[in-house]
C-alpha cells in the first residue's frame, strides 16, 4: 500500500440500466481539485487525485474497495461540488470509514458548502466540511491534524466532543493568493492522459482528435439567474466572495502554454461574470495569446451577447478546428428571459449578435431550457419557434439544444421558491442523496428535477425539452 498524506477522490454519477454496465455521467473534475492538490503538494504534503469514473471507464472491474487497498491516506478529500455526486460522494466516504482504522474524511465544493451542517448531522462518517474555497484551508487542516485543534482551520465545519463546530476564521483568496494557485498540474491526477479524452460531462474514452483542457479564468459572478447555484448571492453566502475574481492574464497564458505542451487541442472556458458591461480582460488576454503564438481552439461560453470587436478579436485568436462560441438565451419569450436571466438581451439584440457571428464565420452553440419561472405552454411555443428560426437562418449554428432545469442548491429559486413560483420536491441534502442513490440502484424515483412550477408539471418540463430537441433534429437533418 502507498502511504500518502492526502488522497483526493472525485465521485461519479452512476445510473443503473438494463444493460450489463452502468451509465456514468458528470465525469468532469472540478478545476479546484487540481489547484488544491498542487498547493498542498508544493507545501510538503504528498497528494494524488483519483477520478473514480475514469478508473471505471479504464477498468470495468474497478471498485472503491480495491482502490483503498492501494493507498493509506491520512486525509481523504472528496469533492462534492455538483449535486449529482451526492450519493456517490457519501458512498465513498462510508467505504473509507469501514476500510481504515484512522482516517480523516473531509468534503468540499458548492453542494457540500450549501449543506455543511446537515451533512455532519446525518452522515457520521464525514469528519469535516470545507465551506467555500478550499486551497489554503486544506493545507491548514493537514497542519492542524496532529494537534487535533481544528479551530484555526479557516472555512471549516467539524465535530468536537460530539458537537458540530464552525471555525471562526474565514478565507476567500486575494488576487495574489489566487494567482499563486496552479490549475494545470494535471499530472497529479492518476491516468491524467486518459482524462483529456473526456470532452463533456457524459463522455467516454473513445479515441478522438479533440483533447480538451478545462481552463480556469476566474471565480464568481456579478448577477443572479433564477436557476443558478453559482450566482452573486450564492457566492456571497457560500464563499464570502462579493465580487468576481479573475486570474491574471499572465497566469492564464502560463496554463495555456502547458496545455500546448500536453497536446491539448481545445481549451474550455466558461467565465463571463460581467457580460457586455466589460470584457477588457479578454481583449488583453486574446492579444497575449496571439503574441505568444499559442495555437489552440476553444469552446468558449459567453453569458451575454458580445460586441463586434469581441467577435473579431475572438476569431483572430483561436484555431478554428474545434472552436465554438456558446450562448444560452434560455427562452424564446423576452419577458421570461428577463425574469430569469441575470444578463438580459432582447430578440433584436440576439439576432444582431448572430448576424455578426455569421459574418465572421464563427461556429455558434445555442442552449434553451424549460422549467423557467413564469413560463407557460405558450411561452415554450415561442422558444420552439425561435429555435426553428435561428436554425433556418444561421448555418453557422453547429449545435442547438434545450435542457430542462434541474434544481440547484443555493440558487435563488431553491432559497425562495415562493418568490420564483416553484414547488420544491427537494428541500434538503438528503433528498438529492436519496434520488441519486435510486438512480445508482436502478430504482424508480419520484422526482428527477426536484421541483415543478406553478404553470408546468415536472413531466411537462421534461417532455417539452425533449420535443424541442426532436424538432431541431428534424430541421437539421
> 391 forms bridges with which residues in the sheet?
none
Residue 471 belongs to what H/E stretch?
helix 458-476
pLDDT digits (tens, 9 = 90+) for 108-163: 999 999 999 999 999 999 999 999 999 999 999 999 999 989 999 999 999 998 89
pLDDT > 80? residue 476 = no
pLDDT > 90? residue 203 = no
Angle at 288 between CA 287 and CA 289, to 5 degrees: 90
Q: For the chain, what percent of residues have pLDDT higher than 70?
A: 99
Q: What is the mean pLDDT of residues 258-267?
A: 96
pLDDT of residue 475: 72
Q: What is the mean pLDDT of residues 350-372?
A: 98
What are the structural domains of the chain? Answer: 2-166 (3.40.50.2300), 202-476 (3.80.30.20)
C-alpha pair distances (Å), 231 with each of 30, 199, 325, 376, 431:
17, 24, 21, 25, 22
Indicate the length of the chain as a whole number.
477
pLDDT of residue 108: 98
Residue with cell 448531522: 121
User: Residue 17 — very low, low, confident or very high, per pLDDT cuts 50/70/90?
Assistant: confident
User: Residue 179 — very low, low, confident or very high, per pLDDT cuts 50/70/90?
Assistant: very high
**Count of H-run helices and E-run strands, the chain:** 19, 19
pLDDT of residue 222: 97
Q: Which residue has the higher pLDDT, 23 or 11?
A: 11
380 three-state secondary structure: helix
**Cβ pair 136, 35 in contact under 8 A:** no
Lowest-confidence range among 12-16, 138-142, 425-429, 441-445? 12-16
pLDDT digits (tens, 9 = 90+) for 362-391: 999 999 999 999 999 999 999 999 999 999
Residue 464, judged by CB atoms within 10 A of its CB (0-12, 13-18, 19+), counts as: buried
pLDDT > 90? residue 207 = no
User: Residue 277 — very low, low, confident or very high, per pLDDT cuts 50/70/90?
Assistant: very high
pLDDT of residue 474: 84
**Nearby residues of 17 by Cβ (< 8 Å), 6 or more positions away:** 23, 442
pLDDT of residue 477: 64
Give this prediction's pTM: 0.96
Cα-Cα-Cα-Cα torsion 333, 336, 338, 343, nearest 10 degrees, comes to -80
Cα(166)–Cα(160) distance, integer angstroms: 10
User: Residue 202 — very low, low, confident or very high, per pLDDT cuts 50/70/90?
Assistant: confident
pLDDT > 90? residue 1 = no
User: Residue 189 — very low, low, confident or very high, per pLDDT cuts 50/70/90?
Assistant: very high
Amino acid at each position: 500500500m502507498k502511504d500518502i498524506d492526502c488522497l483526493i477522490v472525485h465521485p461519479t454519477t452512476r445510473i443503473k440500466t438494463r444493460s450489463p454496465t452502468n451509465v456514468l455521467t458528470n465525469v468532469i473534475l472540478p478545476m479546484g481539485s487540481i489547484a488544491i492538490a498542487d498547493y498542498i503538494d508544493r507545501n510538503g504534503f504528498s497528494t494524488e487525485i483519483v477520478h473514480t469514473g475514469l478508473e471505471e471507464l479504464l477498468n470495468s472491474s474497478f471498485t472503491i474497495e480495491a482502490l483503498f487497498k492501494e493507498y493509506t491516506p491520512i486525509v481523504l478529500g472528496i469533492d462534492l461540488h455538483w449535486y449529482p455526486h451526492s450519493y456517490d460522494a457519501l458512498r465513498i466516504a462510508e467505504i473509507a470509514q469501514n476500510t481504515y482504522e484512522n482516517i480523516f474524511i473531509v468534503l468540499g465544493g458548492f453542494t457540500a458548502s450549501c449543506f455543511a451542517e446537515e451533512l455532519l448531522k446525518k452522515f457520521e462518517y464525514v469528519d469535516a466540511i470545507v465551506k467555500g474555497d478550499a486551497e489554503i484551508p486544506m493545507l491548514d487542516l493537514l497542519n492542524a491534524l496532529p494537534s487535533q485543534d481544528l479551530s484555526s482551520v479557516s472555512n471549516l465545519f467539524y465535530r468536537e466532543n460530539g458537537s458540530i463546530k464552525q471555525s471562526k476564521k474565514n478565507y476567500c483568496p486575494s488576487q495574489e493568493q489566487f494567482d499563486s494557485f496552479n490549475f494545470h498540474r494535471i499530472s497529479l491526477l492518476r491516468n491524467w492522459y486518459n482524462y483529456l479524452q473526456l470532452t463533456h460531462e457524459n463522455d467516454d474514452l473513445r479515441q478522438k482528435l479533440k483533447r480538451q483542457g478545462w481552463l480556469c479564468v476566474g471565480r464568481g459572478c456579478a448577477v443572479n439567474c433564477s436557476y443558478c447555484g453559482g450566482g452573486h448571492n450564492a457566492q456571497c453566502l457560500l464563499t464570502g466572495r462579493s465580487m468576481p475574481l479573475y486570474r491574471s492574464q499572465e497566469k492564464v497564458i502560463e496554463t495555456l502554454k502547458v496545455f500546448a505542451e500536453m497536446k491539448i487541442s481545445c481549451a474550455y472556458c466558461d467565465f463571463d461574470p460581467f457580460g457586455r458591461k466589460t470584457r477588457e480582460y479578454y481583449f488583453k488576454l486574446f492579444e497575449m495569446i496571439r503574441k505568444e503564438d499559442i495555437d489552440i481552439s476553444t469552446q468558449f461560453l459567453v453569458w451575454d451577447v458580445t460586441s463586434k470587436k469581441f467577435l473579431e478579436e475572438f476569431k483572430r485568436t483561436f484555431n478554428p478546428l474545434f472552436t465554438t462560441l456558446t450562448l444560452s438565451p434560455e427562452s424564446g419569450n423576452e419577458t421570461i428571459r428577463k425574469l430569469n436571466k441575470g444578463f438580459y438581451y432582447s430578440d433584436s439584440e440576439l439576432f444582431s449578435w448572430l448576424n455578426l457571428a455569421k459574418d465572421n464565420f464563427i461556429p455558434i452553440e445555442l442552449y434553451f431550457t424549460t422549467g423557467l419561472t413564469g413560463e407557460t405552454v405558450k411561452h415554450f411555443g415561442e422558444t420552439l419557434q425561435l429555435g426553428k428560426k435561428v436554425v433556418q437562418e444561421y448555418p453557422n449554428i453547429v449545435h442547438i439544444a434545450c435542457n430542462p432545469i434541474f434544481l440547484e442548491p443555493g440558487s435563488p429559486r431553491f432559497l425562495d421558491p415562493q418568490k420564483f413560483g416553484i414547488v420544491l420536491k427537494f428541500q434538503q441534502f438528503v433528498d438529492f442523496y436519496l434520488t441519486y442513490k435510486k438512480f445508482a440502484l436502478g430504482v424508480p424515483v419520484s422526482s428527477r428535477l426536484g421541483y415543478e412550477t406553478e404553470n408546468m408539471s415536472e413531466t411537462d418540463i421534461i417532455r417539452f425539452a425533449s420535443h424541442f430537441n426532436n424538432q431541431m433534429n428534424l430541421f437539421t437533418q
